[in-house]
Structure 1
């Protein structure tokens, strides 16, 4: 089971209602294993390796936190892989190969079972809020806003329109070119939940799927008829290359931004972002201290919002996450 307080699922549902590149980056050296394998250094400082995999959406935030932590602890090596939320759980975290798994959606019951079978206990930590963003080419002057129904029709496996005019007769008879994350991505899972519905016909598969968010930007930038979706942080770094669309959930068009996500106005595409710590790895002091560092800085406007492009945690959410983390550390080190 995930290491979280009772009522965690209910609070997550309440939060939801209210509210890129594949490969490994060795930020400071190569990893040997996902077991931490560190200790206090000879000079009393921290040392050891930390392995992180998972969500491409959380990747830039994890990178920002890792770089700052390593600047203060030279003997700690942090390696991060952008594998997608599901790919990280299945191939790295639950088999016990990594210390953290970043995720842009909550862990699934079958993933919890896989972790449990390998004696891995996930500790869920909310780290930010994202405004999942739908982007089109800058020359797509016929559209500035889409309704949830428009999005559902464009991406549904049942309708699968081929031209923009198939969705709206006022739009040009121009081919739709679709770009998005793979089915290993939490962004993909969340889009199905928020737009298509888990009981619906499913996500169409005739699109360019990638775990490299920059590839989505490049694809949409390169074709007038293109459309794609990805995390707000990647759009915020490329506002001159593509155009973000507003979303109308029935109460008028709302553009994606940190302000509209923070206010709970950008629905239904505002979502919490997570990292999952392996409780067993928190027995290692350098792993525990990195987890503390991340959560202590999760309210930082400078790091989370200005540098990365997500909504920082509120003081209340941070306090809840810190309580959960300290309880897990005490359990691991006791």
Structure 2
């Protein structure tokens, strides 16, 4: 009798459970009054927030912006391991050439896009969006064994770097400095840093022909480290990374103050005229047509501040990143 009663109780309980789950039309509920079909749509929305993506994101451009975007790609790989987002280094100008040719989705830049580059994109029917990602302080460095260069003015920098300046030794720069030869190391002509220097320091006069040029800032770093008479310039992060082997030179600003680049002087603009924003540019058709590109850019803007600081740059303000995220939403429509 006990066994029969147990079977009967189980049968009755099963029937009650089925009745509770059934809607009388063959569908089932999820316990909150919604059908499974209704709940499916909710689940898809929730899953989309952590949807696993695949494909690639084409990125190239500025060697100055490279450390930030490399850090973004490394962190993004942990979130989306099936999305490949390697970061190339062709210089700002070289990156824009690939961007215009449709070879990349994102172009990193250490200067704003030029009018002629923008026109080529317009002619090609390629809408794009500009995003600022961090601040940089273009750093002037000399060999660490140089014990006499205490500061430089903008006028002295111009005299040193233009072809017509006829500067060969340190004595040509300032009275009292030794007659020791100078070796010059500069970013290459495809670099946005070169363009910025050309505009702000050289005032569009011709750079000296004997300078060693390279799109790879690490080549410039090693050049100055290996040459007692060396002087060069590049992004702040490359100085920070090699500060034990280089000597950074304070630059006299418009107020007559000799200022060393650091987090505060770059952020508040006291280190002028060599403080500058950094950028990346994204094709709008990639934002709207490639989910992995949109997701990558969103991730970059959400994390760029922290990652920029980690690799030696200065983050934007929180509200600036928030505005950039709003711009992203508009551009992806």
Superposition TM-score tier, normalisation by shorter sequence: 0.7 to 0.9
The structure number with the bigger radius of gyration is 2
| Structure number having the greater strand percentage | 1
Query: Relative to structure 1, is the Cα distance of residues 228 and 86 closer, same or farther in structure 2, using a 3 angstrom cutoff?
Result: same
* SS of 1:80 mapped into structure 2: coil
When structure 1 is superposed on structure 2, of 107-116 and 222-231 the one drifting more is 107-116
The separation in 2 between residues aligned to 1:324 and 1:197, in whole angstroms, is 33
| Structure number having the greater helix percentage | 2
State whether residues 99 and 105 of structure 2, in contact with CA within 8 Å, keep that contact through their aligned partners in structure 1: yes
User: Does residue 272 of structure 1 match 2:258?
Assistant: no
Question: How many residue pairs align between the two structures?
Answer: 284
State whether residues 148 and 195 of structure 1, in contact with CA within 8 Å, keep that contact through their aligned partners in structure 2: yes
State whether residues 68 and 304 of structure 2, in contact with CA within 8 Å, keep that contact through their aligned partners in structure 1: no
Q: How far did residue 285 of structure 1 move?
A: 1.0
Residues 45-124 of structure 1 aligned to structure 2 (within 5 Å)? 45-90=52-97, 92-124=98-130
Residues 221-300 of structure 1 aligned to structure 2 (within 5 Å)? 221-250=225-254, 251-283=256-288, 284-300=290-306
Among 218, 222, 228, the residue aligned to 1:218: 222
State whether residues 143 and 229 of structure 2, in contact with CA within 8 Å, keep that contact through their aligned partners in structure 1: yes
Task: Tell me the equivalent position of 2:321.
Answer: 318
Task: Tell me the equivalent position of 1:309.
Answer: 312
State whether residues 103 and 273 of structure 1, in contact with CA within 8 Å, keep that contact through their aligned partners in structure 2: yes
Residue-by-residue CA offset, 1:52-88 (whole Å, 9 max, x unaligned): 0100000010000011011111110112110000011
State whether residues 76 and 299 of structure 2, in contact with CA within 8 Å, keep that contact through their aligned partners in structure 1: yes
* SS of 2:319 mapped into structure 1: helix
State whether residues 51 and 78 of structure 1, in contact with CA within 8 Å, keep that contact through their aligned partners in structure 2: yes
Q: How far did residue 248 of structure 1 move?
A: 0.3
Task: Tell me the equivalent position of 1:183.
Answer: 189
Residue-by-residue CA offset, 1:166-214 (whole Å, 9 max, x unaligned): 111211101110001011000000111221224xx23223200001111
What TM-score do you get using the length of structure 2 for normalisation? Answer: 0.83
- Gaps in structure 1 of 5+ consecutive residues: 1-39
The separation in 2 between residues aligned to 1:121 and 1:144, in whole angstroms, is 47
Residue-by-residue CA offset, 1:206-225 (whole Å, 9 max, x unaligned): 20000111111111011111
Show structure 1 runs of 4+ deviating over 6 A. Answer: none
The separation in 2 between residues aligned to 1:114 and 1:291, in whole angstroms, is 23
The separation in 2 between residues aligned to 1:157 and 1:167, in whole angstroms, is 14
Residue-by-residue CA offset, 1:19-51 (whole Å, 9 max, x unaligned): xxxxxxxxxxxxxxxxxxxxx99x941111001
User: Does residue 193 of structure 1 match 2:199?
Assistant: yes
Q: How far did residue 116 of structure 1 move?
A: 2.2
The separation in 1 between residues aligned to 2:199 and 2:301, in whole angstroms, is 27
User: Does residue 128 of structure 1 match 2:131?
Assistant: no
Q: How far did residue 308 of structure 1 move?
A: 0.8
Query: Relative to structure 1, is the Cα distance of residues 253 and 320 closer, same or farther in structure 2, using a 3 angstrom cutoff?
Result: same
State whether residues 121 and 127 of structure 2, in contact with CA within 8 Å, keep that contact through their aligned partners in structure 1: yes
The separation in 1 between residues aligned to 2:55 and 2:166, in whole angstroms, is 50
The separation in 2 between residues aligned to 1:116 and 1:262, in whole angstroms, is 33
Task: Tell me the equivalent position of 1:150.
Answer: 156
State whether residues 217 and 241 of structure 1, in contact with CA within 8 Å, keep that contact through their aligned partners in structure 2: no
* SS of 1:146 mapped into structure 2: coil
What TM-score do you get using the length of structure 1 for normalisation? Answer: 0.82
